[in-house]
Structure 1
Amino acid sequence: MFKKSILLAVTALGLGGFVSVTQSPVSSAASMPGSLSYHKANFNAKIGTNYKSFKLTNHAPNSSYKNIKTTSWKKSGLKAGTKVHVDLYANQGLQFNWYRITKYSTKKATKHTKVQKYWIYGQALVLPKSITNQLALSY
């Protein structure tokens, strides 16, 4: 990824112009080599107002899982301000974080209760300040 960006910049300069090359974080992360690292978590967050810019998936993007499926926001029943529980997060480097979420419930789930879990990009969530600080220190 880094070599590709340098090559694009050198090519642009060689042609006599300046070109700004930007990519969205999800597409950049999806093309990055290297593996994701997974970490256990146990905290609550809320869906942010910009949530529709991001996808809900059944596995973390850029994972080794071959068949990653997306779910619509409408089908999931999640919307801005919805409280969710985070039980796992994955990162690849410092910039890309995905969180595995479930809809928050005050009821204790039994062994037979099916709870739908989704992976979502971190920018779609409003994380508690204590968690944000803790995650920043763990890098």
Structure 2
Amino acid sequence: MFKKSILLAVTALSFGGFVSVAQSPASSAASRTGSLSYHKANFTAKIGANYKSFKLTNHVPNSNYKNKETTSWAKSGFKKGTKVHVDMFASQGLQYNWYRISKYSTKKATKHTKVQKYWIYGEALVLPKSITNQLVFSY
């Protein structure tokens, strides 16, 4: 499962620059079950052109969390082309990846700065050419 995710990323990266990774629609991905793995990440991405087709949530849609909430795109302040910071992603295999995003800032955050983070389906993002991650935990 993890090797397939890396293979997809390497294939996408071979085109260079920012690329959009083709994935299934979020509605069908959220309804599927399987092992959900979380991975640390540290990169910037951009909000893609089709971002309004997907929801911003406080947890991965197919996770075990009971209090999942959605946030409107207007309230979040994100729009097409906005740079975002990705600090984590969740995968259930090759096609079902969600990314935890927050507003991109060139300023260094202090320990007391609270940053709002959202989970978004990968198809709504334009991913960079280099992505580094490591397995955090799975259930």
Is the TM-score greater than 0.5?
yes
Q: How many residues in Structure 1 have an aligned counterpart in Structure 2?
A: 110
Which position in structure 2 is the counterpart of 1:43? 43
Which position in structure 2 is the counterpart of 1:66? 66
Question: After superposition, what is the alpha-carbon deviation per residue over 1:31-56, rounded to whole angstroms, capped at 9, x for unaligned?
Answer: 22223100000000000111100000
Cα distance between partner residues in 2 of 1:25 and 1:47: 16
TM-score normalised by structure 2 residue count: 0.74
Matched position secondary structure for 2:86: strand
Which position in structure 1 is the counterpart of 2:107? 107
Cα distance between partner residues in 2 of 1:93 and 1:25: 15
Give runs of aligned pairs for residues 56-135 of structure 1, distance below 5 A.
56-131=56-131
Computed over aligned residues only, the root mean square deviation of the Cα atoms, in angstroms, reads: 1.5
Q: CA deviation at 1:78?
A: 0.5
Unaligned runs of 5+ in 1: 1-23
Which position in structure 2 is the counterpart of 1:28? 28
Whether the 8 Å CA contact 1:48–1:126 is kept in 2: the answer is yes
Q: CA deviation at 1:61?
A: 1.1
Q: CA deviation at 1:120?
A: 0.2
Cα distance between partner residues in 2 of 1:32 and 1:55: 17
Whether the 8 Å CA contact 1:35–1:63 is kept in 2: the answer is no
Cα distance between partner residues in 2 of 1:129 and 1:53: 24
Cα distance between partner residues in 2 of 1:103 and 1:109: 12
Q: CA deviation at 1:128?
A: 0.9
Question: After superposition, what is the alpha-carbon deviation per residue over 1:62-111, rounded to whole angstroms, capped at 9, x for unaligned?
Answer: 00101110000000000001100000000001111000000000111111
Instruction: Determine what percentage of the aligned residue pairs are the same residue.
Output: 82
Rg bigger for which structure?
1
Cα distance between partner residues in 2 of 1:125 and 1:33: 23
